[in-house]
Chain A
Amino acid sequence: MRRRRFLFAGDSAAGQPAQEEAAIDTLLQGLRQAVHLILSLDPEVLEIAGLSLRVSGTALAISVLLGVPLGAALGLRRFTGWSFLRLMLYTGMGLPPVVVGLFVYILLSRNGPLGALNAALIPRLFTPAAMITAQTLIIFPIVTGFTMAALLGVDPLLRQQLLSLGATPWQATLTLLVEARAGIAAAVAAGLGRALAEVGAVMMVGGNIAGETRVLTTAIVLETSKGNFDVAIALGLILLAMALVINFVILQLEERFFRPL
């Protein structure tokens, strides 16, 4: 990855207009460098982007597989403790990533409750698996909560009427999920956005190790702190492009494949 340090006008003794001009120039140069880095398929950038995709994609897949059924169940049924569970879920949707990072760090550290077990299935700190664990904890409540809200938005009389029309309980549930598909797609998109944008937790449990646990967000932080704005901007653009493409795929799936029964 080509690195170049940009000097702000403030570093010299120039006046205010000169500072603004230099800042705009820096941004433009950064954009040009970003395009170059993307088009030249820089191996380091590709590796970082690939790890981002793997970590966030896996966390999203786990959250969707567990969160959509759970959110649907919570949206369709009432039981003792339902209100408490919803309160916990909504609180979980606002969990500060650094708190999750701290929690996972303590759990997985060598002397922590899980890390001390030294079991094969327990992720180790400063590995992508630890980052996936942290991201899953962050986005699972989001996917579950939004799915539940989407199901709660469907007419509560509908299920009984579908059963009356001869639907099996499973067919009725599937129909309700399809009715709420726009809300569920929003839940997945929100989870994806949170995962891709997350930096605090993955920095804490991943360590931002080059070639090991460096993802787009942590790399952006690092490159910015080093003054490598072109690289930081390139990584930012890649992050945005990834979010755009994945959201496009999610919407296409929602529109084309989850057609009404």
Chain B
Amino acid sequence: MSEAIFRLRNLRKEYQRRLVLDISYLEIYRGEILVVVGPNGSGKSTLLRLLNFLEPATSGEIEFMGHSIPPGAPVGLHLRRQVTMVFQQPALLNRSVLANVSYGRKVRGMPAQNGAMTRLLERLGLASLAGSHAPNLSGGERQRVALARALAFQPAVLLLDEPTANLDPYNVSLIEGLIRDLNREQGTTMVLVTHNVFQARRLGHRVAFLLNGQVVEIAPAEQFFTAPQDARTRAFLNGELVW
């Protein structure tokens, strides 16, 4: 787990002159699960959007798979397609579950591979819903479809923005198990944003604490939770208000 797939250097993001992200240096290793925790408004989702190249940084540099990407520079499609995100509120196409799951493959011109799609749906407990109209699904089912459509084209990096928020324990357990299995089996790099420190401990290889757009502390999960170095991290883990 030593090779960095992402390197962020002096990365800053401002919205209307308000600084929301200010990361001096951060490496994300190939094949790891990096969990990012932090209070609301700490810049977690902004970090994911920058990693997904959905918006440019204000300044600084993102290095991805050895390619340096300055702010505002166009990101090659082949690079952008290595990364995908599962959003907290999945917006599904007004089509069948299977059509939603196949979308990423279709835009890439990849063959349908119905057998592989069926196995993926089975794994996510969606096989019986393959022909169902996606917008009619429950919250848990929708989130599983969102995860399936992100996994269908086997991305190198999977970004997860609170993928289990508002889900029942069954769906949380199912999705967590899948994240763990996929990381182990396929070596998919994952960056997971969550408010749930227990989930962070269950899933993360490393955990980063983001506060006011800055990485306060980043450490292997066990160390992060048993021996946090920064007082603000300790306070956050103790459920205290930090700012």
Q: Chain A's nearest CB lies how many Å from the CB of B200?
A: 23
| A260→B108 contact, CB < 8 A | no
Tell me which of A160, A161, A260 contacts B95 (CB under 8 A): A260
Asked if B93 and A165 sit within 8 Å, CB to CB, the answer is no
- Interface 9-mer from A127-135, A167-175, A243-251: A167-175
B54 and A160 form a contact (CB under 8 A) = yes
Contact A166 B93 (CB under 8 A): no
Closest to A261 in B: B106
Interface flag for B52 (CB, 8 Å): yes
Chain B residue nearest to A181 (CB atoms) is B94
B73 to chain A, nearest CB (A): 16
Query: Does B84 reach chain A (CB closer than 8 Å)?
Result: yes
Asked whether, in the complex, the Cβ of B91 is within 8 Å of the Cβ of A164, the reply is no
Q: Complex formed: what's the CA distance from A179 to B54 in Å?
A: 21
- Total contacts A-B at CB 8 Å: 51
With A166-B81, A168-B77 known as contacts, the answer to whether A161 contacts B104 (CB < 8 A) is no
- Tell me whether B87 is interfacial, beta carbon within 8 Å: yes
CB distance from B232 to the nearest CB of A (A): 31
Chain B minimum-CB-distance residue to A260: B95
Cross-chain contact A155 with B91 (CB below 8 angstroms) = yes
In contact, A167 and B107 (Cβ under 8 angstroms): yes
A116 at the interface (CB under 8 A from B): no
Cross-chain contact A165 with B54 (CB below 8 angstroms): no
Which residues of the other chain, B, contact A179 by a CB distance below 8 angstroms? 93-94
Whole-angstrom distance from the CB of A78 to the nearest CB of chain B?
Answer: 15
Which residues does chain A contribute within 8 Å of B108, judged by CB atoms? 166
Cα separation A166 to B110 with both chains bound (whole Å):
12
Partner of A165, one of B89, B95, B149: B149
Q: Pick the residue among A162, A166, A260 that contacts B99 (CB under 8 A).
A: A260
Chain A interface residue count: which class?
10 to 19
A158 in the interface (beta carbon within 8 A): yes
Residues of B within 8 A of A41 (CB): none
Partner of A164, one of B77, B85, B99, B106: B85
Q: Does A241 contact B (CB under 8 A)?
A: no
Interface size class of B (residues with CB under 8 A): 20 to 34
A161 and B106: CB pair below 8 A? Answer: no
Q: Are B54 and A166 in contact (CB under 8 A)?
A: no
Given contacts A261-B103, A261-B106, contact A164 B84 (CB under 8 A): yes
Across the interface, do B81 and A175 meet the contact criterion of CB distance under 8 Å?
Answer: no
Question: In the complex, what residues of B have CB within 8 A of residue A167's CB?
Answer: 103, 107
Q: Determine if B94 and A166 form an interchain contact, defined as CB atoms under 8 angstroms apart.
A: no
Q: How far is the CB of B6 from chain A (nearest CB, A)?
A: 16
A157→B91 contact, CB < 8 A: yes
**Which residues of chain B are near A160, meaning CB under 8 Å?**
54, 87
CB pair B99–A163 under 8 Å, yes or no, is: no
Picked from B77, B93, B150, the residue with its CB within 8 Å of the CB of A175 is B93
- B84 contacts which chain A residues (CB < 8 A)? 164-166
User: How many Å lie between the Cα of A155 and that of B85 in the bound state?
Assistant: 17
Q: Does B153 contact A (CB under 8 A)?
A: yes
Residues of A within 8 A of B103 (CB): 162, 165, 167, 175, 261
Residues of A within 8 A of B99 (CB): 260
> Which of A161, A163, A167, A168 neighbours the largest number of chain B CB atoms within 10 Å of its CB?
A161
**Cβ contacts A179-206/B at 8 Å (1 or 0 each):** 1000000000000000000000000000
B107, A168: Cβ atoms closer than 8 Å: yes
Known: A171-B107, A260-B99, A261-B107. A164 touches B93 (CB 8 A): no
Q: Which of B96-116 contact A (CB under 8 A)?
A: 99, 103-104, 106-108
A-B residue pairs, 4 tightest by C-beta:
A158-B91, A157-B91, A155-B91, A166-B81
B residues neighboring A (CB under 8 Å) = 52, 54, 77, 80-81, 83-85, 87, 89-91, 93-95, 99, 103-104, 106-108, 149-150, 153
